[in-house]
Every structure is written in C-alpha cells, then in structure tokens.
Amino acid sequence: YGLSVWHSNMIIENNTFSDCGRRAVSLNLYLQMDNPADYRHISNVIIRNNAFLRGYHTTSLDLSTQMTAGDVIEDVYFYNNYVDDSEIAWAGKDEGSNQLFVQQGESRVDNIYIYSNIFVHATTRNILIEGGEDMFVWNNTIFGHNQNIDANPWGNVTLNGPQTIDYRNNIIYDNLVHARVRCNKRFKGQL
C-alpha cells in the first residue's frame, strides 16, 4: 500500500501517489473484533488535492469494512483529486485497477462524499461502490478507459447496492471502442 491508515479526524492532502502495488490509500477494517470495547469508529476523514497515478487494484482510495458488525466508517470526503491510469502500458486480467473503491461488509459505511475529482483512463472501473448507506457522487469528470490494456474494463461507474445514492452533475466520457471490436470478433458479427 501507499498509505495504510484507519484513524478519525485525518487529512491527506497535497500528495502524489504513484505506482502503489495494491492501494494508494487503504482505509480497510479487516480484523474481526469480538469485544464491543474494541469496535472501531472512524469518522471525519478528508482526502483532497492529491494526485494518484498508475495504480494496481485500487489507484486511489480503497475503503472497506469486512468482519465486525460493530465497526463504523463515516463522514469521508474525497474531493479535488486527480486520478490517472493512462500511463499503464499493460495489465493482465487480474491486474486491472478500480480508481476508487468503497465496500461495506459486516460493518457500517455511511456518508461518503466523492466530488469534484478528475478520473482518467481506468483499467477496470473509475468508481466502484458496493453497499453502504449514504453515498454522494457529485461534480466529477470521468474520462474513459486506458486503451493500452487488453483486460476487460467493466465500465465507468458501478453502484452495487448502496441504500441511498445521490449521483449528480458528473461528466462521463466513455471510449470503450476496442471492447466492441473484441465482442464482434468473438460473435463473428452476429451483433
């Protein structure tokens, strides 16, 4: 990881993260906590004005709760960041990167704000959100997929099951022409 943290009242700003092997910013609660006194409550996290370049698995923020039902991550603000995977020359099918990833496991994820960012040339997805309670995706510019890879990009934005999603004023340019070409070759023009 570039940075592996889980703390409240944290700010990450004015950094450049490049070529991180797994995640640039890992905010993940993996360990099972059986004692309620050990439950974690992470809130008020600000990630702003950073550059995230050439990522693998997750290019920028990877936020995930896994095992403990009593854990909470809330009030996370990801804004004014630049996320760019255009310089990746090749990625195999297992080496693609979501540019930003949020996942709710057993714990609660709430009030995640993703706004005013620029996402350029993802190798899989620009934004992937799986679960969560209140997600806000506003005013982002999302510019297509990396044309240098032969992996199968999944699309620009995937929203799998957040309870409430406020998705507005985003600009998306999708350039997946090569996917259609591969599909047509596979089905021999039957489409």
State mean pLDDT over 7-31: 92
What is the C-alpha to C-alpha distance for residues 97 and 156, in angstroms, rounded to an integer?
12
Which own/partner contact pairs does 156-160 have at CB distance under 8 Å and 24+ positions apart?
156/122, 156/125, 156/126, 156/127, 157/125, 157/126, 157/127, 157/128, 158/125, 158/127, 158/128, 158/129, 159/129, 159/135, 160/128, 160/129, 160/130, 160/131
Range in 5-9, 95-99, 182-186 the model is least confident about: 182-186
Q: Is 122 in contact with 155 (CB distance < 8 Å)?
A: no
The alpha carbon dihedral of 98, 7, 51, 167 has a sign of positive
Please indicate whether residue 40 or residue 153 has the higher confidence score (pLDDT): 40
> Residue 31 is encoded by which pair of tokens?
């360990």
Q: Is 17 in contact with 2 (CB distance < 8 Å)?
A: yes
pTM: 0.89
> Residue 10 is encoded by which pair of tokens?
């944290």
> Residue 29 is encoded by which pair of tokens?
């609660």
Q: What's the mean per-residue pLDDT of the chain?
A: 87
The secondary structure element, H or E, covering residue 129 is: strand 127-130
Q: How many other CB atoms sit within 10 Å of the CB of residue 7?
A: 11
Res 49: pLDDT = 98
Q: For 49-69, how does the pLDDT look when each residue is reduced to its tens digit (9 = 90+)?
A: 999 999 988 999 999 987 788
Please indicate whether residue 121 or residue 174 has the higher confidence score (pLDDT): 121
